[in-house]
Structure 1
Amino acid sequence: MRRSVMKRLVLALVLAAVSGALTACGGDDAAAAGDGDPLRVGYQRFGGLALVKARAAAPDVTWSLFESGPALTEALKAGSIDVGQTGEAPPIFAAAGKTDFRIIGTSQPIPQGEAVLVKEKSGFTSFADLKGRTVALNKGSNVHWLLVKLLEANKMTLDDITVKYLKPAEGRPAFDNDQVDAWIIWDPYFALAEQPGVKVLVDASNLVNNREYILAAPDALTGKGTQLESFLRTYRETTDWGIANPEERARVLAPELKIDEAVTARALSRSAKPLAPVDATIGAEIQTIADGFAKLELIPEPVDIKSRVDETYADVFR
């Protein structure tokens, strides 16, 4: 009798294991369960996504905060987020690092939203004055491409300066304490650093577009398409609302950013731009940046970034 009970127990365990294996392999039931999972959104302390979160406009998503674009793309690579927003360079470095994603949206250009900061006492009047000096920036962020174009515009090379790769939380104290001669940074860190004794040496105007890019994991496109489209519409509507209501936007977003409302308003006045669809022109633009990084050996090999552009949701942003 004891053997009979043991046989039934073993059979039950085997059937449970087989059932679990079949469920893990897929099927309609598994797909339906996946569709019910919340959309996982990666955001930074600025831009339209932060505003969506601050207004609680998308209550059915989960949020993950990142200090910079490269950190966000690492989360995409790890499979811990479905969609997020970065600057121009992070998608290229991510593609070079074999991260799979698609570029599904962008923004109008934001060249005034990133700049080279120096101290007034330095006496620097142009980027060329930084020859032989130390320049800090976040590796793989949008400001990395600005550095490339600044060097090109001033007939300089990377050998003409000492580059110190520092995350924003490291770059600010290094700049404040004169451990570097210049800091290339974006809003809102840019606005926060605009203190007495600090001046903008040059911003990105006439050099780079400094767009935002919306990146999505391929699995999200296929498994959470309806949720993703709904969220993107909310993102677009919230961004448009903020542009139409700048004072209220600053009031709502300042607590989310954990910075003063006046600083928030200054940063938003130059860096909050409408969203825009992606197309072949956008693909060509970001491919030029990727080719520039490859030529300078800032990435290990050329990448075909234009093939990552996906126009599925283009109508959402028109």
Structure 2
Amino acid sequence: MRRFTLALVSTLALLGALTACGGGEKAEGGGEKLRVGYQRFGGQSLVKARGASPGSTWSLFESGPALTEALKAGAVDIGQTGEAPPIFAAAGRTDFKIIATSQPVPEGEAVLVKEERGFKGFKDLKGRKVALNKGSNVNWLLVKLLEANGMTIDDIDVKYLKPAEARPAFDNDQVDAWIIWDPYFSLAQRPGVQVLADATGLANNREYLLASPRALKDKPELVREFVRVYREVTDWGIAHPEERVKVLAPELGLTEDVAARALERSARPLAPVDAAIGAEIQEIADGFTELELIPGKVDMKSRIDDRFTDLLK
């Protein structure tokens, strides 16, 4: 088994991402603001697009690992990721708490291939080049796909590529398959592209809301208000799918049909965290440790913080 080290986002890339999205920590009237890290999808994007959290500033990240690097650097207070980034972040000694999650979204991540290649199942990718973003939720999906098909990581040629790198590599046949999540998944779907497998029956693919302990201590009212609004706006979007698409498509830079496809399968209600959620993410962490994807065991159960359960039930 090859030994893998943690993926690190360079300081310049991190600073560039933060600079691009801007925003200070002070409100126009001088009050303190909550610094939110978000990805271009999910309920947080809807909160931003609707202007529903004026007590926040926003920084955009391409993936969960990039967001957790910002959390480690103290550049954001709170942010949402998939299930794997918190584990890689914990292994990298990032201090955070998991304060909310979502209902499972297994249909929201998948293995994409070209129909013309004739692949019928994941086993057909043995010896082939498979692209994915290291440390993201799809990293766990890969582990479960290999396990389900009696394969190991050495049976495929893994190419760790960020979405912006993986899409052209997939389009130009530089890789044979791409394991990706929405909305990149939806954006890549077109005639000739086949969904070889998704996470159904393999991984829950939840979202997790992470907060820095310092923000929980120093900005408790801002964090609580953000969680309340996040839940409220997410519920509104699920109840009003057509309006949600019209609000989110411009924010995501997607056409309405692409946004609608992604949201229909991937938008899920928020949920509170509890011991069962802690056990679930601990199982994933233990799997990464066993496969030497992270350097040693990490305690994810201790990261669970259920103080906002009353807002999420």
State if a TM-score over 0.5 links the two structures.
yes
Considering only CA atoms, is the larger Rg found in Structure 1 or Structure 2? 1
Aligned pairs for 1:84-123 within 5 A = 84-123=79-118
CA distance in 1, matches of 2:311, 2:58: 21
CA distance in 1, matches of 2:155, 2:54: 50
Q: By how many angstroms is 1:37 displaced?
A: 1.6
CA distance in 1, matches of 2:169, 2:84: 23
Q: By how many angstroms is 1:59 displaced?
A: 1.3
Name the structure 2 match of 1:270.
Answer: 265
CA distance in 2, matches of 1:105, 1:178: 39
Q: Per the alignment, in what secondary structure is the counterpart of residue 115 of structure 1?
A: strand
- Alignment counterpart, residue 193 of structure 1, candidates 167, 188, 192: 188
Q: Per the alignment, in what secondary structure is the counterpart of residue 180 of structure 2?
A: strand
CA distance in 2, matches of 1:53, 1:119: 35
TM-score w.r.t. structure 2 length? 0.90
Q: By how many angstroms is 1:36 displaced?
A: 4.0
- CA RMSD, aligned part only? 0.8
Name the structure 2 match of 1:177.
Answer: 172
Q: By how many angstroms is 1:315 displaced?
A: 1.3
CA distance in 2, matches of 1:240, 1:209: 20
Name the structure 1 match of 2:129.
Answer: 134
Aligned pairs for 1:1-318 within 5 A = 36-318=31-313
One-letter amino acid matched to 1:140: G
One-letter amino acid matched to 1:110: V
Large movers: runs of 4+ above 2 Å:
none
Summarize deviations over 1:26-85 as a string: whole Å, max 9, x none. xxxxxxxxx942000000000000000000011121000000000000000000100000
One-letter amino acid matched to 2:34: L
Q: Per the alignment, in what secondary structure is the counterpart of residue 190 of structure 1?
A: helix
CA distance in 2, matches of 1:242, 1:44: 17
Partners of 2:131 and 2:179 within 8 A in 1: yes
Structure 2 unaligned residues grouped into runs of 5+: 1-29
CA distance in 2, matches of 1:108, 1:194: 24
One-letter amino acid matched to 1:315: D
One-letter amino acid matched to 1:119: K
Q: By how many angstroms is 1:183 displaced?
A: 0.1
Partners of 2:119 and 2:125 within 8 A in 1: yes
Name the structure 1 match of 2:4.
Answer: none
Structure 1 unaligned residues grouped into runs of 5+: 1-34
Partners of 2:55 and 2:222 within 8 A in 1: no
Q: Per the alignment, in what secondary structure is the counterpart of residue 151 of structure 1?
A: helix
One-letter amino acid matched to 1:106: T
Q: By how many angstroms is 1:312 displaced?
A: 0.8
CA distance in 2, matches of 1:101, 1:315: 21
Q: By how many angstroms is 1:192 displaced?
A: 0.3
Task: Work out the percentage of aligned pairs sharing the same amino acid.
Answer: 74
Q: By how many angstroms is 1:308 displaced?
A: 0.3
Q: Per the alignment, in what secondary structure is the counterpart of residue 52 of structure 1?
A: helix
